[in-house]
Structure 1
Amino acid sequence: MKRTLITLAMSLSVAAPAFADQALATSKNCMACHAVDKKLVGPAYKDVAAKYAGQAGAADKLAEHIMKGSSGIWGPVPMPANPQVKPDEAKKLADWVLSLK
């Protein structure tokens, strides 16, 4: 079943790039604190994309924040480390977030 959902999500990425890695974000529990277009515990992904738009190295910086956590960037609530996210997954998630408009 999980393989079928992943295959479906990958096939939808051609037709709907905004959902290209939302399945990965959901599976890694990112969507518990973040949403694409509204602030929850953390900032909306579209706000993150806007803040880092055009910055060199933004994807690598975000990937590191995803894995190791961060604090003070978006206010007093820290983002915890996510050891369940592998480096290649973090990069994929960061690229996806930065692609949102």
Structure 2
Amino acid sequence: MVGRSVVAIRRGVMVLAMAAGGVAALFGAAPAFAAGDGQSIARTNACMGCHAVDRRLVGPSFNDIAAKYKGDKLAQAKLEKKVRDGGAGVWGAIPMPSHPAMSASDIHDVVAWILAGSPSK
């Protein structure tokens, strides 16, 4: 009887997970981020020293980045690699430094925030 209860509970958890977040919730995909998370991560990791949401500083604006990669299904992965490893030549002569101290989760969230249009709320 106890074994059946455990199975029933597991099934119930799966059903709730599917209802709450779909397949991604079951398989550990990254949860949706709150808009403030990406902005906070960008500020904490000094991204705002070179980038602004709506205007070019040392590097392109986040809005320009989102526009350039709009519709590119590989944009998330490309930009995560660029943040982690650095790069040059796409936006001009000034290279973007690597950010090896940023966690993969923070990189993912800040890139998702940028590609979503850098919402403030």
Instruction: Compute the TM-score of the two structures, normalised by the length of structure 1.
Output: 0.79
1:36 is matched with 53
One-letter amino acid of the structure 1 residue matched with residue 91 of structure 2: W
1:1-22 CA deviation, whole Å, 9 max, x = no partner?
xxxxxxxxxxxx4xxx3x4411
Unaligned runs of 5+ in 1: 1-12
2:104 maps to 1:87: yes
Residue of structure 1 aligned with 2:65, choices 48, 57, 60: 48
CA separation in 2, counterparts of 1:35 and 1:22?
10
Corresponding pairs, count: 85
Instruction: Compute the TM-score of the two structures, normalised by the length of structure 2.
Output: 0.67
2:50 maps to 1:22: no
1:33-86 CA deviation, whole Å, 9 max, x = no partner?
000000000000000000000101101110110110010000100001011211
Q: Which has the larger radius of gyration?
A: 2
CA separation in 2, counterparts of 1:63 and 1:79?
13
Local SS of the residue matching 2:84? helix
2:5 is matched with none
Percent identical across equivalent pairs? 38
One-letter amino acid of the structure 2 residue matched with residue 60 of structure 1: A
Structure 1 segments, 4+ long, off by >2 Å, are none
1:3 is matched with none
RMSD: 1.2
CA separation in 2, counterparts of 1:83 and 1:20?
19
